[in-house]
Amino acid sequence: MGRGSEMHGQCLFIIVFLIHSVHVLPGCIAQSSDEQTLLAFKAAISGDPNGVLDTWVTTKGSMNATDSICRWRGVSCQSRQHPGRVTALELMSSNLMGVISPSLSNLSFLHTLNLSGNRLTGGIPSELGQLPRIWVISLGGNSLIGNIPVSLTNCARLTHLELPRNGLHGEIPANFSNCRELRVFNISANSLSGGIPASFGSLSKLEFLGLHRSNLTGGIPPSLGNMSSLLAFDASENSNLGGSIPDTLGRLTKLNFLRLAFAGLGGAIPFSLYNISSLTVLDLGNNDLSGMLPPDFGITLPRIQFLNLYNCRLQGSIPPSIGNATKLRRIQLQSNGLQGIVPPDIGRLKDLDKLNLQFNQLEDKWDKDCPLMAALGNCSANGKSTRVSFAVFSIFEWHRHQVAR
């Protein structure tokens, strides 16, 4: 009995020892391979005028703390369970030139890769899709070309894919709908082709969808109304996007930024959009739309600050409820078919600093004694009294001019 438990104890000791060594040894080997990987990354950098990577010199296997790769500029090792393993590589706005080494895929503990705002060229290595723990891939503001690798859709944990302001081509892989954790997807300002995958509607955690000026076609899929966490959606300046604005977007009850300006959109502006009470920016300008401002829109959009519906073929009048939207700072309704009088309620908008109503059929009996003029004289930020510059008034583009009196 006693001997049995002693044996048992020895076995346990051996097993614990084995587990321990199995745990530690690959850690050591892997650490030096993280170093090899970083040095391979550095080797692919052809220009570093700021000397950002000067601290990246081989530690020659020395394991002392001052030599650790974890102290190299831009490198962090934040895993407690795997000390010495690289978890983040962040070298933003560092003027780095050259290409992104595919070897980065060997940083198996990497969760954040941010190389935004450099001068990197070449393609996005498809090997980055092999990073098993990656959350953030941020490569915006470089000169990257080629396609968005389909391999990046192997992304169980990916939360941020930020690739704006590059020269990327090809289509958006529809399989990004597999990336259930995605919160930010931004490919603005690239030269893509094809459309917005309808399957994106199932990205229920997505908060920011940036598709500005990316040459997309094929319309806005109605399924995007299912992105229940969406805070900001920008598909502006895709002049051939086309189609109409899906009524389902009105279901995006958290949305505060909606910008679809200059997107070749037709059809009517769905009334459901005026029900999104969280909206602070609504910009649908320069589209071949139609519609009217609902009578109560100033009440149903209590947070609206930027109302940009210029050149949208709006009909009808400007409802007095506009005066209830007291956060309004900018109203751009020029180049529409608006009629009737301009409600003096606009004078209640204390934060208003730009009002453009040019090129409509509004009643134009505006002189400095009319009620609207008098009311606008009261529009001022911070309660300071304001005087209107009447010269700009004649064409009815009004900017707040604070003339000290």
Ligand X SMILES: *[C@@H]1O[C@H](CO)[C@@H](O)[C@H](O)[C@H]1NC(C)=O
Give the nearer residue to ligand X in terms of CB position, either 285 or 298: 298
How many residues in the shown chain lie near ligand X by CB under 6 A?
53
- The first and second tokens of residue 33, run together, are 């391979």
Which of 39, 44, 92, 370: binder of ligand X (CB under 6 A)? 92
Q: Does 381 bind ligand X (CB under 6 A)?
A: no
What is the x/- site pattern for ligand X, positions 356-375, by CB under 6 A? Answer: ------------------xx
Strand ranges for 29-95 from DSSP E: 45-47, 75-76, 88-90
- The first and second tokens of residue 397, run together, are 């583009």
Instruction: Identify whether the C-beta of residue 187 lies closer than 8 Å to the C-beta of residue 172.
Output: yes
Q: Does 127 bind ligand X (CB under 6 A)?
A: yes
CA distance 256 to 307: 12
Instruction: Identify whether the C-beta of residue 223 lies closer than 8 Å to the C-beta of residue 198.
Output: yes
Q: Does 129 bind ligand X (CB under 6 A)?
A: no
Question: Strand order in 266-268's β-sheet?
Answer: 266-268, 288-292, 314-315
* Three-state SS at 95: coil
CA distance 225 to 252: 6
**Of residues 312, 310, 271, the one with CA closest to residue 294:** 271
CB of 332 to ligand X, least distance (A): 19
Q: Does 351 bind ligand X (CB under 6 A)?
A: no
Helix or strand holding residue 34 (H, E)? helix 2-43
Q: Does 123 bind ligand X (CB under 6 A)?
A: no
Give the nearer residue to ligand X in terms of CB position, either 20 or 254: 254
Phi, psi of 115 (to 5 degrees): -120, 30
**Of residues 339, 329, 378, 388, the one with CA closest to residue 360:** 339
244: DSSP letter:
B
Q: Does 170 bind ligand X (CB under 6 A)?
A: no
Q: Does 105 bind ligand X (CB under 6 A)?
A: yes
CB of 53 to ligand X, least distance (A): 17
Give the nearer residue to ligand X in terms of CB position, either 67 or 351: 67
What is the x/- site pattern for ligand X, positions 57-86, by CB under 6 A? Answer: -----x-x-xx-------------------
Q: Does 166 bind ligand X (CB under 6 A)?
A: no
Q: Which residues bind ligand X (CB under 6 A)?
A: 33, 62, 64, 66-67, 92, 102-103, 105-106, 114, 116-117, 127, 136, 138, 140, 160, 162, 164-165, 174-175, 178, 186, 188, 191, 193, 201-202, 208-210, 215, 217, 222-223, 225-226, 232, 234, 248, 250, 271-272, 275, 299, 323-324, 347, 374-375, 378
